[in-house]
Structure 1
Amino acid sequence: MTIVDIHTHVYPPAYMDLLRSRDTVPYVRTFPPSTEERLIILPGEDSSNSSTARGRPIGPEYYDFSYKIAFMDQHKIDISVVSLANPWLDFLPPSEAAETAMLINDDMDASCGLYPGRLYAFGTLPLSASVEEITEEIRRLKGMPWIRGVVMGTSGLGNGLDDERLNPVYEALEETGQTMFLHPHYGLPTEVYGPRASEYGHVLPLALGFPLETTIAVARLILSGVFDKYPGLTLLLAHSGGTLPFLAGRLESVIAHDAHLKDTNTAPKRSIWDVLSKNLILDAVVYSSVGLKAAVDVAGADRVLFGTDHPFFPPLEGEEDQPWLSVTTNYKAINDSFGLERGIAEGVLGDNAVRLLNLGFGRQSTGCGLEKI
């Protein structure tokens, strides 16, 4: 059995150099007297008067590929498909975006090549550049040995994924047969969490905001008819597609009853169930058998893929040497759901990813049986 992690992030050295060179959001710097580097992504984090509250600590587990390999070995993961985490490259001025994307994608591909067969990657697009430059990079990525698609946030070019200006991007992805890993970007507007939100840490935006952001983005894609225009387009959705597996039936029903869509003949031609089973792949980063079974029910057992979201959600202080709960919980969900159906479990753990992303088998499996996860 080959275990593949398709939702795992890394900031390659070229990207870290970029962040360290900046003095506006996003950037990486230390705040004396601390020598700890911190990543500042959001404007609100930049205005804090407390250095320890600004952004998040960013250590070598975020950018040193040897740490990724050590994490994989600790958790019996054979292959990882790494991707840049937000904020990607959306913040760059148009004149710099295309060249920077090429630099970072080359760095990502070369870094994966240091561990042949163990690391693959999703490339990053210069979304602030011209559409022509974006599609050129998509076609260039197709020829890189360790790249298997692209990662993109839900904002697209700034107006969401139903923006018609993205049509050439979808066309290029369909033409080259590359998967788009759709990852939430900034979550929902902070005001939806209410005046007491600061009392709840990061629970509301991470547990609810990110999945709902993905759900809304994909619903807009379906409503705009993107999957009618590009029936071969493939999206891998983070966090098991958010709430889409649970709400797909309701969404389908409301579309069928909407007079405006009927009168204007703008309703999507394909059903949501057809899109889910043919165009959408769901990761298994949902931490429970209930959510995992829902993902398999709507997408199919052959279109759900294991992931860890490393290096986010690490063990808390004092537990650093322990297995990551964020990983073992996903292993347990797979075992609880499909432990007696070995074929399904092995598919979710790795076989599906090997087939869908054309990964090859990498090194010999670690031999992690279902009874051990």
Structure 2
Amino acid sequence: MKIDAYSHILPARYFERMRELADPRPLKRWLELPALHDVDARLEMMDEFGDDYQQVLTLSSPPIELLAGPDSSPDLARLANESMRELCDKHPDRFPAFVASLPMNDPDAALDELTSAVDHLGARGVQVFTNVNGKPLDDPEFEAIFAEMARRDLPIWMHPTRSAAFPDYAADDTSKYEIWWALGWPYETSAAMARLVFSGLFERHPNIKIITHHMGAMIPYLEGRIRLGWSDQLGSRTATEDAAHLRRDLSRPPVDYFRRFYADTALSGSAIGTRCGLEFFGADNVLFGTDCPFDPEGGPMYIRETIQVIDGLDIPADARERIYHRNIRRLMKQSAS
């Protein structure tokens, strides 16, 4: 069994509403991917991988809070969640679960939608993006959402968001050469992880479960900088930072908290990156995920190559089973059928 823990979809009803709200120019990529919004194309694509391949559905970017203001984002989130529930009900053998979307630009409404989506629609977690219209996730107004997910002991899927409007240099107006995506998204994820760690999230909620997209981004590769550069030298490079306060509030070295995140294998088929992330997070915290359907073939390529990478890892069979399906089932509290 292989359960793809991080695949993206835009259900048809939601997709039509999104097209009404969004600037059509940036949507070109989405329109060219039938498997993203055409469920028949999606199912046909999945057939290549046999009956034991399933997908946990997460809503594709852009974030809901970029599409609609607080006055209408709750309705948009509800449409997304109801539409994904319908897909799971219609195709339970392919889509065993979905992840709820939240109107994060209205934190009170987001908490209401979290409750409704989990309790009434059966969502097995929620998805948040690495910032909310530029506001970091460790902002106090989002604390209740993290606290509630920790209380429920259900996972949070965290997806990067950044656009060309975020320049790479102060002298520029925009990011060039899609640096905002290729390098900016890994930075976004890593920065969000750091903000959550140093704001004390894992101290307040020791058992919180957060799934980072793309194998924890830069964190595994930068283990040395985190382990040595942050542990004993935190604050020494910035005169205005209260290093003593930061060290006092964290009961463990920073790297220990970073290892508590979960990470998927959505690395565009990178065997080197997968081995690095697996060594950092450990087999219990790594989940099979592909980023389907955002590959050059429109869906199957990343699945095929990610499976090839995982099957080629020099790990015990039990560890491979945990990565492929046992870990995500445990996180979602779903037993094997």
TM-score for the superposition, normalised by structure 1: 0.78
Read off the aligned partner of 2:198 and give its amino acid letter. Answer: L
- Report the equivalent of 1:34: none
- Report the equivalent of 2:49: 75
Measure, in 1, the Cα distance between the counterparts of 2:40 and 2:170. Answer: 38
Determine helix, strand or coil for the equivalent of 1:241: coil
Partners of 1:273 and 1:298 within 8 A in 2: no
The question of 1:40 aligning with 2:38 is answered: no
Of the three residues 25, 34, 39, the one matched with 1:65 is 39
Distance 1:337 1:126, change over 3 A: same
Partners of 1:284 and 1:306 within 8 A in 2: yes
Determine helix, strand or coil for the equivalent of 1:295: helix
Deviation at 1:117, TM superposition (A): 4.1
Partners of 1:89 and 1:101 within 8 A in 2: yes
Of the three residues 280, 289, 304, the one matched with 1:328 is 304
Can you list the C-alpha shifts for 1:195-239, whole angstroms capped at 9, x where unaligned? Answer: 9986x5x4x444322112111111111111111112222100000
Q: Map residues 108-187 of structure 1 onto 2, 5 A cutoff.
A: 108-119=84-95, 120-129=97-106, 131-144=107-120, 146-156=122-132, 158-186=134-162
- Report the equivalent of 2:196: 221
Measure, in 1, the Cα distance between the counterparts of 2:41 and 2:285. Answer: 29
Of the three residues 313, 330, 333, the one matched with 1:355 is 330
Deviation at 1:324, TM superposition (A): 3.4
Deviation at 1:308, TM superposition (A): 1.5
Distance 1:99 1:187, change over 3 A: closer
Determine helix, strand or coil for the equivalent of 1:246: coil
Of the three residues 298, 317, 341, the one matched with 2:280 is 298
Q: Which has the larger radius of gyration?
A: 1
Measure, in 1, the Cα distance between the counterparts of 2:336 and 2:40. Answer: 20
Distance 1:158 1:172, change over 3 A: farther
Partners of 1:302 and 1:348 within 8 A in 2: yes
Distance 1:217 1:187, change over 3 A: farther
Determine helix, strand or coil for the equivalent of 1:95: coil
Unpaired runs of at least 5, structure 1:
29-38, 42-53, 363-373
Partners of 1:151 and 1:183 within 8 A in 2: yes
Read off the aligned partner of 1:40 and give its amino acid letter. Answer: P
The question of 1:247 aligning with 2:218 is answered: no
The question of 1:308 aligning with 2:308 is answered: no
TM-score for the superposition, normalised by structure 2: 0.86
Read off the aligned partner of 2:26 and give its amino acid letter. Answer: I
Determine helix, strand or coil for the equivalent of 2:263: strand
Pairwise CA RMSD: 2.7
Partners of 1:127 and 1:157 within 8 A in 2: no
Deviation at 1:312, TM superposition (A): 0.6
Distance 1:98 1:253, change over 3 A: same
Partners of 1:248 and 1:272 within 8 A in 2: no
Partners of 2:30 and 2:36 within 8 A in 1: no
Task: Tell me how many residue pairs correspond in the alignment.
Answer: 324
**Further displaced range: 185-194 or 108-117:** 185-194
Measure, in 2, the Cα distance between the counterparts of 1:242 and 1:307. Answer: 14
Measure, in 1, the Cα distance between the counterparts of 2:333 and 2:44. Answer: 24
Read off the aligned partner of 1:222 and give its amino acid letter. Answer: V
- Report the equivalent of 1:97: 73
Measure, in 1, the Cα distance between the counterparts of 2:251 and 2:91. Answer: 44
Measure, in 2, the Cα distance between the counterparts of 1:89 and 1:71. Answer: 27
- Report the equivalent of 2:318: 343
Distance 1:176 1:157, change over 3 A: farther
Measure, in 2, the Cα distance between the counterparts of 1:359 and 1:115. Answer: 17
The question of 1:262 aligning with 2:238 is answered: no
Measure, in 1, the Cα distance between the counterparts of 2:49 and 2:180. Answer: 27
Deviation at 1:152, TM superposition (A): 1.2
- Report the equivalent of 2:209: 234
Determine helix, strand or coil for the equivalent of 1:242: coil
Determine helix, strand or coil for the equivalent of 2:313: helix
Read off the aligned partner of 2:34 and give its amino acid letter. Answer: P
- Report the equivalent of 2:253: 271
- Report the equivalent of 1:6: 5
- Report the equivalent of 2:238: none
- Report the equivalent of 1:106: 82
Measure, in 1, the Cα distance between the counterparts of 2:244 and 2:328. Answer: 42
Determine helix, strand or coil for the equivalent of 2:103: coil
Measure, in 1, the Cα distance between the counterparts of 2:118 and 2:222. Answer: 34
Measure, in 2, the Cα distance between the counterparts of 1:329 and 1:60. Answer: 20
**Further displaced range: 80-89 or 152-161:** 152-161
Read off the aligned partner of 2:42 and give its amino acid letter. Answer: K
- Report the equivalent of 2:265: 284
Calculate percent identity across the aligned residue pairs.
Answer: 23
Deviation at 1:105, TM superposition (A): 0.8
Measure, in 2, the Cα distance between the counterparts of 1:344 and 1:309. Answer: 21
Partners of 1:228 and 1:270 within 8 A in 2: no
Can you list the C-alpha shifts for 1:12-70, whole angstroms capped at 9, x where unaligned? Answer: 12321212323xxx244xxxxxxxxxx625xxxxxxxxxxxx65534431112232222
Deviation at 1:71, TM superposition (A): 2.2
